[in-house]
Chains A and B, each alone.
Chain A
Amino acid sequence: MSCMIRPIKKTMTLMLLLCLTSIFLTGCWDRTEVNDLALILAAGIDKGKNKNIELSAQIYIPGGSQGGQQSGMSSGSSSGQSFVRSAEGETIADAMARLQEELTREVFWGQNEVLIIGEKLAKAGISDEIDFWMRHSEPRIRADVFVSKGRSKSVLGAKPELERDAAKQLRKIVKTHIGVKVTVKDLSQMLAGESAPAVLPWVEKLPPSLMDKKKEIPIINGAAIFKEGKMVGRLDDKETRGILWPRNEIKSGMITIAIDDENGYISLKLLRSHTELIPSIKNGQWSMHIKTNADLEVVQNTTKLNLFNSKVIKRSKQKVADEIEQRERLAFSEVQEKLNSDIFGFANEFQSKYPQIWKQKKDEWNEIFPQVAVSFETKVKIKRTGLATGKRQRGVEQ
């Protein structure tokens, strides 16, 4: 008899235990259901009235059940599955609380991956606002940060054709590494540096003349340069390409060269490149040697030159190296001389190589940086010349 009871008793205890676990698994106080959340896809911060901050949030509208599999794709892009709301407050958190008052669901930052800073606020200084992103446990420090021309709110409301919304559009563009890509973490790291220099991608709207429809689409066109946490200037697209080389961020690119006495051009695609910064201090003269190694591939040749000729290749290599250096010089003249913002991380390089000198001269960095002599050394390799040639070439028997 007792043999029978024991297993039953055991099962009963087990059942009881299982029931008990459910009490602890609910997470009573912090219970959050997906349908009680307002997912923020992108956030924009602007300068509001007085000293206030205006927070604009692009909030996801959960798709209704009528979407189905077929219409999901088409309706998703056109009808717009998100809306933009904004509120003002003394800080971002305060504005968020005001925003919450207008929403039926609880604001949730966990999916927010885009942060856009309005031009006016950027010029007034952004260091204080980054604290929210670092301190609050919901926003992700991997979110991409942008500076928008004009108000950030208008960027958030844009409806791009190819992507679901403005947030996705910006994230995708930045992923192609055409311009700089800066996350909240990177920004916070840059702002922690000596004289707090920073660079952020600059968002503009594609002018309607370039589009068939009368819609505005945000694109990245250059970069905003910060110093002491305040925006001090901006670079155009070409100059931005120039800062990517020394920052070792260039991932793709097209370089078109003309060879002295020839008609036509050779276009080369960048395969990969690596840049090294080599600092040196000699007799009180600070200098930085920028060493670039780049591999390219020819994609178009409109000259009559034969690319299998080693002399031609040698000349093209030289031309490419000149072109790259020229782009870098252009960027340096703007950033180093005019804006005096150390977005290349020179300070870190000098600090790691000359820690003792750095400690004494740290406070003078603002005066030293524009004086740093920059020299370039670019090594170019042309890896391939494509699949076939489309023209009759000189020196080749037909």
Chain B
Amino acid sequence: MIEKGRISYLELALIMYATVVATAILYIPYVTSQHAKRDLWLSPIWGSLSGFLIVMIIVKLSKLYPGKTLIEYGELILGRTLGKIISFIYLFFLLHDTAIAFREYGEFIESAFLHKTPIIFVTGSIALSCAIAVHGGIETIGRCATIFLPIVLALYILIYVFLIPDLNVKNIFPIMQDGIMPSIKGSIAPHAWLSQFSLMSFLIPFLTNQQKVMKWGMFSVIASVLTMVFINLGNLLLFGGIISNLYFPVFEAARFISVGSFFEHIESMVIAFWVLGGFVQLSSFFYMLTLGTSQWLTLPSYKQFVLPIGFLIIIFSVWSIPSFEEMIQGMGTTMPFYFLTVQLLIPVLLLGVAVIRRKRSNSFLP
């Protein structure tokens, strides 16, 4: 096997949590509020359906092919040529997805602080530090997640704890003024983010123990959804009607903190801690892509691939998205369908074929 490291259930849940949530909290509030308006906090709940469904499919597949990732069992299920093609589509999507994640990270840092710095330096420097983690293997990323994520999670909660005096509960009323549809329309972005749970298939083979993977996968989905609901709700209570005008409500909320007129202007610290979460997310994307590519090429080791792929990601993050506006526009329109098509359709196809094959081979056997 290419990877010798092993991770625990908790590490799996935390890595997946970071992979989904780190950029979601920045972009989800704006994108969901465009359709859902006041009901934006309901949208991630509808979005959780994708998350649950995909975790179920992926866990089922990994039960059928223990110790194999999506790239490996794709070939076993569909045969060599078709399997390679499908895996390539998935890998190419993963490259695009990773590039988008790096770009999201970069665009945020650019809009918030480093206006003049070329984005390539922002994404490039985080990619370089991620490359060290990826080179260290899955265990390194798992340990990073266990160390960093409690801090990041505490940060998400603390932002709104400090803002309690400024929160106005009345802002959430009327709930579902125009029925359920706006919140469902708003949920397409959370669907996209939560569909990234299909990436779990790259981590499951490295679990020390495999029995309770379903439980922990679901736990991770629930935690991600709750975080999104919490963040959306916190922003709604703070900003009310103007939530749909703010591109980065979480950042604005952090800037708004002022406790006792001395504990204020702390956004730099908030971002510094947030970057820890971003680091785990980007490392995990980077790792999965590197691992997947090496498995697709059936190489004995992925380590020599780390830097070239990092380079490719950075180039892709510049190529694939023309501008910030188009990225935001895409998140609310095309991106969710693209994400769901690849991340839901491919696993469903694989599971369907695998189940049919199993039944046939069983019936042929005496």
Residues of A within 8 A of B (CB): 24, 27-30, 110-111, 134, 137, 140-142, 175, 185, 188-189, 192-193, 348, 351-353, 355, 359
A171 to B, closest residue via Cβ: B261
Query: What's the minimum C-beta distance from A25 to chain B, rounded to whole angstroms?
Result: 9
Chain A residues with CB under 8 Å of B265's CB are: 110-111, 140
B177 contacts A185, C-beta separation under 8 Å: no
Binding site for A on B (CB under 8 A): 111-118, 121, 125, 128, 170, 173-174, 177, 239-242, 245-246, 252, 255-256, 258, 261, 264-265
Given contacts A189-B241, A192-B241, contact A142 B170 (CB under 8 A): no
Question: Chain A residues with Cβ under 8 A from B177's Cβ?
Answer: 351, 355, 359
**A137 to B112, Cβ gap below 8 A?**
yes
Q: Look across to chain B and name the residue whose beta carbon is closest to the beta carbon of A351.
A: B174
A141-B125 contact in complex given A28-B117, A355-B174, C-beta closer than 8 Å: no
B239, A185: Cβ atoms under 8 Å? Answer: yes
A312 to B245, CA, bound (A): 54
Which 3 pairs, one residue from A and one from B, show the smallest C-beta to C-beta distance? Answer: A352-B173, A29-B116, A29-B117
B113 touches A30 (CB 8 A): yes
A30 touches B125 (CB 8 A): no
Assuming the contacts A192-B241, A193-B241, A352-B170, asked whether A141 and B114 have C-beta atoms less than 8 A apart, the reply is: no
Residues of B within 8 A of A29 (CB): 114, 116-118, 121
List B contacts of A142 (CB < 8 A): 255-256, 258, 264
A137, B111: Cβ atoms under 8 Å? yes
Tell me, rounded to whole Å, the shortest Cβ–Cβ distance linking B159 to chain A.
14
Which residues of A are found within 8 Å of B252, using beta-carbon distances?
A: 141
Q: How far is the CA of A24 from the CA of B173 in the complex (A)?
A: 47
Q: How far does the Cβ of B180 sit from chain A's closest Cβ, in whole Å? A: 14
Tally inter-chain residue pairs, CB-CB below 8 A: 60
Evaluate contact between A189 and B239: CB separation under 8 angstroms.
yes
A192→B239 CA distance, assembly (Å): 11
**B118 / chain A contacts, CB cutoff of 8 Å:** 29
Q: Which residues of A contact B246 (CB under 8 A)?
A: 134
Contact between B245 and A30, CB atoms less than 8 A apart: no
Q: Considering only CB atoms, which chain A residue lies closest to B177 in the complex?
A: A355
CA distance A140 to B257 in the complex (A): 11
Residue of A nearest to B125 (CB): A24
User: What is the minimal beta-carbon distance from A290 to any residue of chain B, in angstroms?
Assistant: 15
Give bound CA distance, A355 to B38, whole Å.
Answer: 12
CB pair B115–A137 under 8 Å, yes or no, is yes
**Does the CB pair B170–A30 fall under 8 Å?**
no
Determine if A189 and B242 form an interchain contact, defined as CB atoms under 8 angstroms apart.
yes
Among B125, B240, B261, contact of A189 (Cβ-Cβ < 8 Å): B240
12 A–B contact pairs at CB < 8 A?
A24-B125, A24-B128, A27-B114, A134-B246, A137-B112, A140-B256, A141-B252, A141-B255, A141-B256, A175-B261, A351-B177, A353-B174
> Complex formed: what's the CA distance from A351 to B240 in Å?
13
A151 CA to B12 CA in the complex, in Å? 61
Interchain CB contact under 8 A, A134 and B114: no
Report yes or no: A30 in contact with B115, Cβ–Cβ below 8 A: yes
Instruction: Across the interface, name the chain A residue whose C-beta is closest to B248.
Output: A137
Using Cβ atoms and an 8 Å threshold, which residues of chain B touch A353? 174
A185 touches B241 (CB 8 A): no
Chain B residues whose C-beta falls within 8 Å of the C-beta of A185 in the assembled complex: 239, 242, 256
Q: A140-B256, A185-B242 are in contact. List 9 more A-B contacts (CB 8 A).
A: A134-B245, A137-B112, A142-B255, A185-B239, A188-B242, A189-B239, A189-B240, A189-B241, A348-B170
Give Cα A175 to B261, complex, Å. 10
A188 to B123 Cα, complex, angstroms: 34
Q: A30 to B112, alpha carbons, bound, how many Å?
A: 12
A27 to B239, CA, bound (A): 32
Chain A residues, CB < 8 A from B113: 30, 137
Q: A30 near B241 (CB under 8 angstroms)? A: no
Q: Is the CB of A30 within 8 A of B242?
A: no
Check A27/B242 contact, CB under 8 A, given A141-B256, A355-B177: no
